[in-house]
Amino acid sequence: MVKIMIIKIVKLFDMKVIAFHSWGEFIGDPEKKTFQKLDEWVKERGISLDPLKHQIFGFNNPSPHINDSGNQFASKDNPYGYEVWMTIPEDYEIEENMKVKTIEGGLYGAVSIRGVDNIGKGWKFLFDWIQNSEEYDFHPNWKGLSKYYDKEHVTQGITGLEYLVNYQEYDEKNFLMDIYFPIIERD
């Protein structure tokens, strides 16, 4: 069966988010740890994750290392991180020790994927599309997925984002995600 990926152009507006971050020593490790932090936080507060009020975005922060064969890897000596943002209303009462960030909006190329096995394919498809587009180009402040981590805050540059469409209904084969890559219109 041929699967067709369709590119969408998406305008994200400024967002106020709560951030969660974890480190991991193998591929998939920091994602699970970070989502566990989000799940515990949401459960403790009795929050119902309404996708109209709370969008969930994630991204590698920093990305896994790449070996000589071009494959991602992580280890105790070479960990990588994953960060998750949950959007919150502007008037949300901030608790002590919450990592709250204001994220600047922008223009993104996006593609939808189903299943965790298609995440890498989605990123590659979107990257290649932007690289070959006559209308759009990579955002000039794009730091690259491996150069974005600043140890404490996301305060500079722009990263690609993974919008977790059906976050609460997670299973590896039916997981829905929109992959967002920062772009600008060409002159």
Task: Specify the pLDDT at position 144.
Answer: 53
| Model pLDDT for residues 42-71, shown as the tens digit of each residue | 999 998 888 778 899 998 888 787 777 777
Decide if pLDDT at 11 tops 90: yes
pLDDT average, residue stretch 13-18:
92
| CA 127 – CA 121 distance, rounded (Å) | 10
Query: Given pLDDT bands bounded at 50, 70 and 90, which one contains residue 153?
Result: very low
- Closest CA relative to residue 119, chosen from 82, 162, 79, 148: 162
Task: Specify the pLDDT at position 36.
Answer: 93
The structural domains of the chain, with segments of one domain joined by +, span 8-185
Furthest C-alpha separation in the chain: 51
* pTM for this model (two decimals): 0.84
Task: Specify the pLDDT at position 21.
Answer: 95
Q: Measured at the alpha carbon of residue 87, what is the angle toward residues 108 and 97, in degrees to the nearest 5?
A: 130
| Domain range 8-185, CATH class | alpha beta
pLDDT average, residue stretch 173-183:
89
Is the CB of residue 184 less than 8 Å from the CB of residue 133? no
Query: Given pLDDT bands bounded at 50, 70 and 90, which one contains residue 142?
Result: confident
Is the CB of residue 99 less than 8 Å from the CB of residue 173? no
